[in-house]
């Protein structure tokens, strides 16, 4: 795990891409929660948190507008103690309306779901980052039928939120072949090649090289049989601005199969 840096950024808040791991990560004690604990000590307390979660997919971008979002246990076959966990953070319906207007002004049709709760793509990392659950949280969906450029534009329209002390967390996974994970397959060379290809381009600041990832990345279909866990990365890159620093926070592998890298982006102005 790389050490924290002392670099001072001009953004009020950075933009994060987090690989959220297995639901079991919510119980703590693994490498991801260690990474997030170190990150938590470096974060300024935000006024609100917007989570772009791989576990909410829609045809159009939708914001959650609940005043008191429920904790969604959107998984099955795990220990009962996981289903007892709650993350009772308040929602942010007024902020949802403001962001909707912001996206509409950018030419992005957006809706609000007043009943949507927080799925585990949001509350698993938030339990470590902000355990008091006292900061308003809302979510934004991803559109798996749309391309990386759509999600980058979505992030670019959200970039001004950082200057208002709103933390954007894009929650997905650097690789996510769930079939290989469920079958207990060993880490594949194809997955490693994809992870390294993406990682090198992120650290080089070459976001545009990632846009055509389904065609250009090695073994893209193997690393992501479906795209929803990769698309949040492009929202983060768009929100970080055209000039930004990239910091790798660490990662490792979930079940020795899923690449779980985490990144912190900070705008340079």
| pLDDT for 225 beyond 90 | yes
Q: What are the tokens at 246?
A: 């990239």
**Measured between alpha carbons, how far is 143 from 57 in angstroms, rounded to an integer?**
6
pLDDT band at 2 (very low <50, low <70, confident <90, very high): very low
pLDDT at 267: 85
Q: What is the pLDDT of residues 107-126, one digit of tens each?
A: 999 999 999 999 999 999 99
204 burial class (0-12, 13-18, 19+ CB within 10 angstroms)? exposed
The Cβ-side half-sphere exposure at 269, using a 13 Å CA radius, reads 13
Contact 69, 118 (CB under 8 A): yes
Q: Give the whole-number percent of the chain exceeding pLDDT 90.
A: 86
Q: Is the pLDDT of residue 158 over 80?
A: yes
The CATH class of 15-267 is: alpha beta
Listed in sequence order, the residues at least 6 apart from 156 whose beta carbon sits closer than 8 Å to its beta carbon are: 106, 238, 239, 241
Cβ(223)–Cβ(191) under 8 Å?
Answer: yes
Residue-wise pLDDT for 226-255, tens only, equals 999 999 999 999 999 999 999 999 998 998
pLDDT level of residue 256 (50, 70, 90 thresholds):
confident
* Residues 50-87 pLDDT 10s: 999 999 999 999 999 999 999 999 998 899 999 999 99
What is the reported pLDDT for 80? 94
- pTM for the model stands at 0.94
Percent of the chain's residues with pLDDT above 70 = 96
Indicate the pLDDT class of residue 7, thresholds 50, 70 and 90.
very low
Q: What distance in Å separates the CA atoms of residue 162 and residue 1, rounded to the nearest whole number? A: 26
Check if the beta carbon of residue 162 is closer than 8 Å to that of residue 47.
no
pLDDT-based confidence at residue 156 (cuts at 50, 70, 90): very high
Residue ranges per domain, the chain? 15-267
Tell me the mean pLDDT in the region 119-141. Answer: 98
């Amino acid at each position: 795990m790389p050490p924290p840096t002392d670099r001072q950024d001009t953004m009020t808040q950075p933009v994060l891409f987090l690989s959220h791991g297995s639901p079991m990560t919510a119980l703590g004690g693994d490498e991801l929660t260690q990474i997030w604990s170190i990150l938590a000590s470096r974060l300024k307390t935000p006024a609100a948190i917007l989570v772009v979660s791989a576990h909410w997919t829609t045809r159009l971008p939708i914001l959650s507008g609940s005043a008191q979002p429920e904790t969604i246990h959107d998984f099955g076959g795990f220990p009962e103690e996981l289903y007892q966990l709650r993350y009772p953070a308040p929602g942010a319906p007024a902020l949802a309306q403001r962001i909707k207007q912001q996206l509409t002004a950018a030419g992005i049709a957006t809706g609000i779901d007043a009943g949507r709760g927080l799925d585990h793509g949001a509350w698993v990392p938030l339990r470590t980052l902000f355990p008091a659950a006292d900061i308003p949280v809302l979510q934004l969906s991803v559109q798996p039928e749309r391309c990386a450029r759509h999600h980058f534009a979505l992030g670019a329209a959200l970039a001004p939120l950082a200057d208002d002390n709103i933390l954007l967390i894009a929650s997905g996974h650097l690789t996510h072949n769930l079939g290989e994970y469920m079958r207990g397959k060993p880490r594949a060379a194809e997955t490693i090649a994809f992870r390294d290809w993406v990682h090198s381009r992120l650290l080089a600041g070459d976001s545009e090289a990632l846009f055509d990832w389904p065609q250009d990345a090695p073994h893209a279909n193997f690393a992501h049989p479906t795209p929803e866990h990769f698309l949040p990365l492009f929202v983060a890159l768009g929100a970080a601005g055209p000039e930004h620093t990239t910091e790798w926070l660490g990662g490792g592998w979930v079940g020795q199969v899923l690449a779980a890298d985490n990144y912190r982006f900070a705008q340079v102005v």
